[in-house]
């Protein structure tokens, strides 16, 4: 599959420790680990750089940014997919679950258009053609407050590589926008609405949820079963939300908005994922709980880059400094997300696993600089 590779004189980030050593790659897999500073002939001398498993991204809106680089500008999908793939590879991400919304919802005086089915077909075709640098799965973000979710979900099946399905509910007055004032600022600014327009928008959403909500939720749960996807919740705010998630069999909580919700997730055995930008900025841009607070309380399991791919490695490095434990920190972007979605062939430095690797060095101040990325032993950045 690929030529052999040896990364030597590296600081290897293992499951629960870091050690000087080298990793040997053969035929796209990790063939062995050795723990000394020797640099065999033909090996790459890493000069003490960190070498970690390739990063695993479960939730990113980055593809949508490439599809619509400016408001009203629609970019060709194939070009957007390839640019997105290359950008992620350059940040150390070697596995991505591309988030695509299913379920049209009112947007100001219009509505968000359907796009997931056509875009996912293009993504799967590019993957089959072998043109991607990294490994792509599908993450369906099912909007419960929607008029079209049931029919959109019906277009997906077990062959579509849907690894994750998250239940979103953007009905005003709950979850991320429990504070109607914050929602008002966001929606009026984004959609150029006046007060009357915003009130009309909110009324439409309430009506949609009342008419379609229960049926949509049942359809999303069934779609996850049919597709074999892991279920995730989104923006759990209180204990009642988490208890509902537990009844649904949800295994992953995306961005709980309060410490109480995060603690309830821990109590129910649900993994907590927070945004890497939240870590870097020192708080949520929506006014919700700070990821750093959850990290200090031991309530953060997984990081997601969310809307900034380069944030994933940087935030993990920040956690490494906070916890004084780089192995624990890197697990939030490698082994923990792999375990959450049942990928047992990657996410750790261990013989027999995929040779998805990232080499990086930290500048003074802790900012990581990526110096090499390999996907199945093939250098992609």
Q: In terms of Cα–Cα distance, which of 213, 233, 101 is closest to 156?
A: 101
> Shortest CA distance to 323 belongs to which of 297, 305, 304?
297
* CATH domain 1-53+347-381 topology: Urease, subunit C; domain 1 (2.30.40)
Determine the Cα–Cα distance for residues 378 and 133; give it in Å rounded to an integer: 9
Contacts of 80-86 with C-beta under 8 Å, sequence gap 24+, read 81/119, 81/122, 81/123, 81/126, 82/126, 82/131, 82/132, 85/132, 85/133, 85/134, 85/136, 86/133, 86/381
pLDDT of residue 285: 73
pLDDT, one tens digit per residue, over 313-341 is: 999 999 999 999 999 999 999 999 999 99
Retrieve residue 22's tokens: 């080298």
Task: Tell me which H or E stretch contains 80.
Answer: helix 77-90
Please give the sequence-ordered ranges of beta strands (E in DSSP) within 103-156, or none if there are none: 106-107, 110-111, 135-143
Residue-level pLDDT at 2:
53
Q: What is the pLDDT of residue 114?
A: 85
Write the CA distances from 4 to 9, 29, 353, integer angstroms.
17, 9, 15
**How far is the C-alpha of 57 from the C-alpha of 61, rounded, in Å?**
11
The confidence score (pLDDT) of residue 204 equals 78
Give the tens place of pLDDT for each residue, 72-120: 899 999 999 999 999 999 999 999 999 999 997 765 555 567 899 999 9
Which element (helix H / strand E) includes 223? Answer: helix 195-227
Model pLDDT, residue 350: 98
pLDDT of the residue at 62: 96
Domain boundaries, the chain: 1-53+347-381, 54-346
Distance between first and last Cα of the chain: 18
Per run of 10 residues, the mean pLDDT along the chain (length 381 residues) is 83 98 97 97 97 98 93 92 98 97 70 84 97 98 92 95 92 60 56 63 77 93 97 95 96 96 98 97 86 97 96 98 98 98 98 98 95 97 98
Global pTM? Answer: 0.92
Q: What CA–CA distance (Å, rounded) separates 239 from 286?
A: 20
Q: Which residue, chain included where needed, has tokens 């997105």?
A: 84
How many Å apart are CA 230 and CA 241, to the nearest integer? 18
For the 54-346 domain, the top CATH level (class) is alpha beta
d(CA 60, CA 57): 7
Q: Would you state the pLDDT for residue 183?
A: 59
Q: Which two tokens stand for residue 39?
A: 């640099």
């Amino acid at each position: 599959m690929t030529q052999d590779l040896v990364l030597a004189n590296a600081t290897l980030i293992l499951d629960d420790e870091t050690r000087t050593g080298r990793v040997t790659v053969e035929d796209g897999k990790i063939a062995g680990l050795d723990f000394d500073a020797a640099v065999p002939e033909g090996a790459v001398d890493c000069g003490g750089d960190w070498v970690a498993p390739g990063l695993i991204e479960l939730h990113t809106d980055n593809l949508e940014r490439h599809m619509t680089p400016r408001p009203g500008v629609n970019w060709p999908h194939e070009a957007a997919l390839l640019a997105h793939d290359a950008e992620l590879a350059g940040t150390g991400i070697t596995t991505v679950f591309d988030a695509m919304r299913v379920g049209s919802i009112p947007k100001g005086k219009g509505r968000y258009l359907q796009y997931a089915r056509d875009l996912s077909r293009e993504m799967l075709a590019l993957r089959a053609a072998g043109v991607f640098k990294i490994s792509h799965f599908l993450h369906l973000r099912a909007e419960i407050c929607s008029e079209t979710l049931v029919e959109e979900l019906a277009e997906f099946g077990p062959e579509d590589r849907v690894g994750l399905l998250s239940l979103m509910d953007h009905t005003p007055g709950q979850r991320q926008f429990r504070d109607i004032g914050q929602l008002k600022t966001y929606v009026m600014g984004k959609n150029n609405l006046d007060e009357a327009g915003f009130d009309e928008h909110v009324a439409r959403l309430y009506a949609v949820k009342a008419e379609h909500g229960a049926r949509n939720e049942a359809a999303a749960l069934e779609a996850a079963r049919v597709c074999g996807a892991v279920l995730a919740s989104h923006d759990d705010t209180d204990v009642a939300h988490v208890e509902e998630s537990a009844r649904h069999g949800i295994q992953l909580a995306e961005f709980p908005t309060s410490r109480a919700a995060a603690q309830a997730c821990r109590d129910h055995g649900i993994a907590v994922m927070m945004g890497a930008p939240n870590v870097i900025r020192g708080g949520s841009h929506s006014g919700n709980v700070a990821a750093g607070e959850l990290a200090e309380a031991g309530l953060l399991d997984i990081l997601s880059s969310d809307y900034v791919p380069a944030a994933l490695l940087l935030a993990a490095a920040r956690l490494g400094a906070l916890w004084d434990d780089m192995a624990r920190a890197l697990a939030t972007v490698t082994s923990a997300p792999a375990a959450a979605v049942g990928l047992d062939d990657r996410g750790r430095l261990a013989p027999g696993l995929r040779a998805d690797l990232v080499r990086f060095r930290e500048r003074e101040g802790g900012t990581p600089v990526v110096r090499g990325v390999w996907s199945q032993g093939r250098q992609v950045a």
